[in-house]
Amino acid sequence: MQQAIGYCRRSDAKQENNHSIEIQMMSIKDAAKRFNVEIVEFYVDDAVSAYAYNAKERLAMKRLKDRVINDHNIKVVLFYDESRISRQIDDFVNDVFSEIKELRSDVIFYSTDSSTQKAWDPNDFETMLQLLLANEESTKKSSRAMDSQKNALRKNKPVRPGSKAPYGFTKEGNTLVHNDQAPIVYFIFHMASYGYSEEQIAQYLNRAEIPSPSNGLWAPSSINMIVTKRVYVGDLEWYVRKNRRNGARSDSTQISLFPAIYEPIIPLDLWALVQELKMEKKTTKRKMNSQYILQGLLKCGHCFEILNHKNYTPGKAKKQYANYSCESCGYRMDSRDVEERIVKMIAKDWEIHPDDFVRQASGMLKDWIKSLEKEISTKGKYLQYAEAESKNTPLSPEINDSIEAVHQLINDKEKLKTQISLFLSTEDVIWKTRFGDKIDIQSLNTTERRTFLFQIVEEVQIRKNANGGFTPKIVYRETPFIYYNKVMKPSEETL
């Protein structure tokens, strides 16, 4: 009796009826009796879509192919029907069937769906028709699923279409509500806003024996996933990942964003502080847990180059020997002396005028709102004029494109204005509490202190004195929201 192997596949764990693994196996075993062959092994791709993954990408199919090519005792391959081997018409034929037949012409393929005893032939009209129908069926299913998602997103209050609730939320009907994990989410953002790395936060949670979203240990990637989701400020995002096989985040222009759909777990200003730090770390590679708290903030007051930092401490030395230096001007200073003096100056400023920074930042945020309102008004008048003209005179495609671009610009400016307004919405927003109190900078640990200084200080200019000392000039930031400051500066310059 010839030896044979069987192949089964189902798209997901919920699939039943004729496409369940058990039904497929029973049918293949019955066919084996008719063909007088012995099934020595089944190869099963369970919960694997043939529409998303072609034949050569499916693990069980790859193993089947290797087995048939290398084991000359295998003479027959059995499968249930064409929809189990392919949803892409020609992938199984090109990447599995043809390559096996080229090396093993004696191997015969059978479909249990066939009413005859003849071998499966991809060039047979009936076979080609079945492959086309399998592809068409999956295409229609995919289209229906996409239409369902789009309809859910087009509602007056968009709903989260067919997706798992994010960590910290429970799905109730068409909305999300906070669950017992919500305080953990807030804790993660709070830690991140003070400069703690994703690895450090994961370690804290694991030491506290708090289960991760997968009910196991936390990893830095789990923390990153949470601190990049806008759902935690109440927004609904869709098409966030590139596709089901590529978890990378889509370009921002491809993401559909619907603001203020859910009750937020964290306020927008806490979200903004975290994103500022993530952006800074990514663009400058600056680490907030560096023991040299002014690294990257110090500039030479003569040539305005950023001061370098170098540690000269021998391996077994008990005392630290490190300095900040300007290579262009040729001087260096003990890092500890510089840091102690600068931190004391900043601490004194905060002690004497604890509300100055918040007052100045609030004023700047109000100015930004006025600036945006003026820009929106100016662009709106242009649109009114252009649209009035279009009623009388057909406009060129270039002008229509320009009008559409202005519409998008106004929409973006409106969103920006709304976000900045939220920073001023109440007196108890986090940033006002954090930067308005008489904070004891000395009581902060290295990571927290370095992060706090980065959020309030633009730079510290150092001028070397003739007597060997130095004179510092501290330049404070206008607001702690660095990203918004960068976005608004070009906006202000255009007015």
pLDDT at residue 42 is higher than 90: yes
Q: Is the dihedral of CA 309, 312, 317, 320 positive or negative?
A: negative
Tell me: do 182 and 99 sit in the same domain: no
pLDDT at residue 252 is higher than 50: no
What is the identity of the amino acid at 3? Q
pLDDT tens-digit readout, 57-90: 899 999 999 999 999 999 999 999 888 888 888 8
Residue 92 lies in a domain: yes
What's the pLDDT at 383?
83
Residue 91 lies in a domain: yes
Residue 152 lies in a domain: no
φ, ψ for residue 282, nearest 5 deg: -70, -40
How many Å apart are CA 410 and CA 84, to the nearest integer?
Answer: 50
- Reference 478, options 367, 373, 374; nearest CA is 367
Tell me: do 136 and 250 sit in the same domain: no
At residue 194 the predicted structure's pLDDT band, cuts being 50, 70 and 90, is very high
Cut 0.85: pTM above it: no
How many Å apart are CA 290 and CA 450, to the nearest integer?
Answer: 8
Residue 247 lies in a domain: yes
Tell me: do 177 and 91 sit in the same domain: no
User: Which of 141, 162, 193 is the endpoint of a domain?
Assistant: 141
How many Å apart are CA 159 and CA 150, to the nearest integer?
Answer: 10
At residue 160 the predicted structure's pLDDT band, cuts being 50, 70 and 90, is low
**Two tokens, residue 175:** 């909305």
pLDDT tens-digit readout, 266-306: 998 899 999 888 888 887 777 888 888 898 999 999 999 99
Tell me: do 29 and 108 sit in the same domain: yes
Residue 108 lies in a domain: yes
HSE at residue 158, side-chain half, CA atoms within 13 A, is 21
Tell me: do 44 and 104 sit in the same domain: yes
Residue 121 lies in a domain: yes
Tell me: do 18 and 137 sit in the same domain: yes
The residue behind tokens 């069980």 is 60
**Two tokens, residue 479:** 């607001």
How many Å apart are CA 360 and CA 365, to the nearest integer?
Answer: 9
User: Which of 266, 284, 303 is the endpoint of a domain?
Assistant: 266
3-state secondary structure 283-299: HHCCCCCCCCCCCCCEE
Averaged pLDDT for residues 238-265: 58
Tell me: do 44 and 88 sit in the same domain: yes
Tell me: do 73 and 113 sit in the same domain: yes
- CA distances in angstroms from 245 to 51, 108, 325, listed in the order given: 12, 33, 49
Range of the domain at 188: 172-266
pLDDT tens-digit readout, 348-391: 888 888 788 889 999 999 999 999 999 999 988 888 887 787 77
Tell me: do 78 and 198 sit in the same domain: no
User: Which of 266, 295, 327 is the endpoint of a domain?
Assistant: 266
Tell me: do 8 and 67 sit in the same domain: yes
pLDDT at residue 253 is higher than 50: no
Separation of CA 276 from chain center: 15
Residue 186 lies in a domain: yes
Residue 259 lies in a domain: yes
CATH (domain of 42):
3.40.50.1390
Q: What is the total count of domains within the chain?
A: 2
Tell me: do 127 and 192 sit in the same domain: no
- In sequence order, the β-bridge partners of residue 42 are 6
Tell me: do 15 and 111 sit in the same domain: yes
